[in-house]
């Protein structure tokens, strides 16, 4: 779910700098080779919800993820729907916290979040990256990434939507982006290269 390292270093038009949670705004844009499909997961979850047998699926665990642009064509510059914005790994913890390693950041970038279950196989994540100016080392932007996802009944995939609001160091909002997010569970049996995020 996300950006290639080669284009990730491009700065935001709004002066946001590359860091965990930043999205590619200029291109050349890349497109994921495959997608899980949020509508398929949502339909499967809804069907399961009407079943009398309970599910034991859990969001807790390690996931490879990708964030895909949707609805940003009027952004300046325009970002096409389906463009890969960021990708990496995220760990959802049983205590309601989360950590993400964004592979789109040169050298990797870590940021933190908190989550709660909102319904049958539905989850919401509130995630807070910080972007730094690579020249001065000072904070360039604060970012609020929010996700709403639906877990597949077997607990191996999730999909949903995200929004990302970017703020300057004074707290003024300077940008907004949106799209879809998809995750595939990493297990103790996962192996290279199938465990790698698609870029």
Strand pairing partners for 82?
none
What does the block give as tokens for 52? 């009398």
Q: What span, in angstroms and rounded, lies between the C-alpha atoms of 69 and 180?
A: 7
For the chain, the domains span 5-186
* pTM reported for the whole predicted model: 0.78
| Assigned superfamily of 5-186 | Quinohemoprotein amine dehydrogenase alpha subunit, domain 2 (2.40.128.120)
Integer CA distances (angstroms), 110 to 69, 74, 97, 188, in order? 21, 29, 13, 22
Residue 176 half-sphere exposure, CB side, CA atoms within 13 Å? 5
Q: What is the pLDDT along the chain (199 residues), one digit of tens a residue?
A: 333 322 232 323 344 444 454 444 556 667 666 555 554 555 555 555 555 556 678 999 999 999 999 999 888 888 899 988 888 999 999 999 999 998 765 555 788 999 999 998 999 999 998 888 878 888 888 889 999 999 999 899 999 999 999 999 999 999 999 999 999 999 999 987 677 766 5
């Amino acid at each position: 779910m996300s950006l290639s390292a080669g284009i990730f270093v491009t700065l935001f038009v709004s002066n946001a700098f590359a860091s965990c949670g930043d999205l590619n705004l200029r291109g050349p844009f890349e497109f994921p080779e495959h997608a899980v499909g949020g509508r398929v997961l949502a339909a499967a979850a809804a069907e399961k919800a009407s079943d009398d047998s309970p599910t034991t699926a859990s969001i807790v665990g390690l996931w490879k993820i990708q964030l895909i642009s949707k609805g940003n064509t009027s952004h300046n510059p325009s970002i096409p729907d389906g463009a890969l914005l960021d990708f990496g790994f995220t760990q959802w913890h049983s205590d309601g916290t989360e950590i993400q390693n964004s592979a789109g950041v040169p050298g990797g970038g870590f940021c933190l979040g908190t989550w709660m279950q909102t319904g049958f196989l539905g989850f919401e994540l509130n995630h807070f990256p910080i972007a730094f100016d690579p020249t001065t080392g000072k904070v360039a932007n604060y970012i609020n990434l929010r996700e709403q996802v639906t877990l597949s009944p077997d607990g191996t995939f999730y999909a949903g939507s995200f929004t990302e609001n970017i703020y300057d160091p004074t707290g003024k909002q300077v940008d907004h982006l949106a799209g879809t997010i998809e995750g595939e569970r990493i297990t103790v049996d996962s192996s290279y290269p199938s465990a790698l995020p698609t870029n």
